[in-house]
Amino acid sequence: MTPDALVIGAGPAGLMAADRLLAAGFSVLLAEAKPSPGRKLLMAGKSGLNLSKAETAERFLSVYAEAEDWLRPMLAVFGPDQVQDWARGLGQEVFTGSSGRVFPKAMKASPLLRAWLGDLSARGLDLRTRWRWVGGTSFATPEGVQQVLPKVTVLAMGGASWARLGSDGAWSSALAGKGIALAPFQPANMGFLVNWSPHMAKQFGQPLKSIALIAGTQRVRGEAVISARGIEGGGIYAVSRALREGAALFLDLFPDRDGAALAEKIAARPKGETLVTTLKKLGLSGASLALALECARPFPAEAPARAALLKALPVPLTGPRPMDEAISTAGGIARAALTDDLMLRQWPGVFAAGEMLDWEAPTGGYLLTACLATGRWAGDAAARFMQSRSG
């Protein structure tokens, strides 16, 4: 087979790269190892597809930490505003929630993905599923080994989490064998393990609301969920990098009260009142109450010490959940291995995008937006590469 362009991986980055190559007038074969495209996107959309986040450009960029300057030009071309316009162009109206998160009105990913695939198919996309890349130009397919000889290739095979959905990181050994620099994979946006005592079993699956999470220099308002194996949820994901790098986790169970005011309320409670009654009268209940009793042993008797503990309750983490359970991963193809066009320096004509690249971001629309932006950037660059050689 000799298409103009080969794209490997039919997630958001690969689909966007294929989209741009088709728009430039090239034939595109899109190879996907799984039986259907966009599996991780569909899973992300089960609880509401968070497309992006409406906030200032500088705030949006800041979440990418050391990758901010690398991704800046790509997100300038295809950032939160452009993501919304793109979704509308596919007939999917969007709305912005109170937190600034942007969702399709349908909430789920399936209508958007169906519309996108229909548009790509109408424009000539050749989508092949159950095609697993085995290196070079070869694919293991239901019809046996197939060879593809394109003019350009875009790699968009995802990171190393959620292997059952297609992101298994298996591509890394092939690229390492070519001498391409890779940063080691690490879990990102993951839960953390805690060895709970038996009395916490009743709280498994219960949310922790109206809390602030503190990890190193980070302080984040959010929510978390107590699970049988530890603690997870959006608030935990927001500080997961700091926790992964060794910061301790503290929870402020009264984020809207300062320590002095809380200490006064505690001191005003009747003498002889039980600890549980005091905590309930302060407003703790359910999972928050159980967590306070679990993590504060022994509980101090003096009001200022009690207040300080409730404002910074230590949670005894024992480590992150396994990488395959993480929402995303850090690591991947090092920036130094790529040109500014996302072409592999040691493999001319081969570009890379999405979670294959060494960047990470919290959940909240940042992951998906950067996958789309890097896919678009790589697709446009691959089109220019072909145009420069045909002119």
Counting residues of the chain whose pLDDT is more than 90, the rounded percentage is: 94
Burial level of 69, CB count in 10 A (0-12/13-18/19+)? exposed
Q: Note the pLDDT tens digit of each residue in 133-148.
A: 998 889 999 999 999 9
Distance, CA of 34 to CA of 182 (rounded, Å): 24
- CA–CA–CA angle 233, 94, 100 (5° rounding): 45
Q: Is the pLDDT of residue 81 over 70?
A: yes
CA atoms 278, 282, 285, 289: torsion sign: negative
When pLDDT is cut at 50, 70 and 90, the band that residue 391 belongs to is low
Helix (H, G, I), strand (E, B) or coil at 236: helix
Domains and CATH numbers, the chain: 5-187+326-390 (3.50.50.60), 192-320 (no CATH)
Length of the chain counted residue by residue: 391
In the sheet that 132-135 helps form, which strands lie side by side, from edge to edge? 132-135, 138-141, 144-147
The CB density around residue 327, as the number of other CB atoms within 10 Å, is: 21
The predicted structure's pLDDT at residue 361? 95
Of 44-53, 65-74, 85-94, 339-348, least confident by mean pLDDT is 44-53
When pLDDT is cut at 50, 70 and 90, the band that residue 369 belongs to is very high
The CB density around residue 194, as the number of other CB atoms within 10 Å, is: 22
> What average pLDDT does the structure give for the chain?
96
The CB density around residue 268, as the number of other CB atoms within 10 Å, is: 9
Burial level of 105, CB count in 10 A (0-12/13-18/19+)? exposed
Q: Tokens 């993501």 appear where? A: 83
- Mention every residue, 6+ apart, whose C-beta is less than 8 A from residue 228: 196, 201, 204
Angle formed by the axes of helices 303-311 and 259-267, nearest 10°: 130
- Got the DSSP string for 65-118? GGGHHHHHHHHHHSSHHHHHHHHHHTT--EEE-TTSEEEETT-SSHHHHHHHHH
The pTM score is 0.94
Q: Note the pLDDT tens digit of each residue in 313-333.
A: 999 999 999 999 999 999 999
Q: Note the pLDDT tens digit of each residue in 187-245.
A: 999 999 999 999 999 999 999 999 999 999 999 999 999 999 999 999 999 999 999 99
Distance, CA of 9 to CA of 99 (rounded, Å): 32
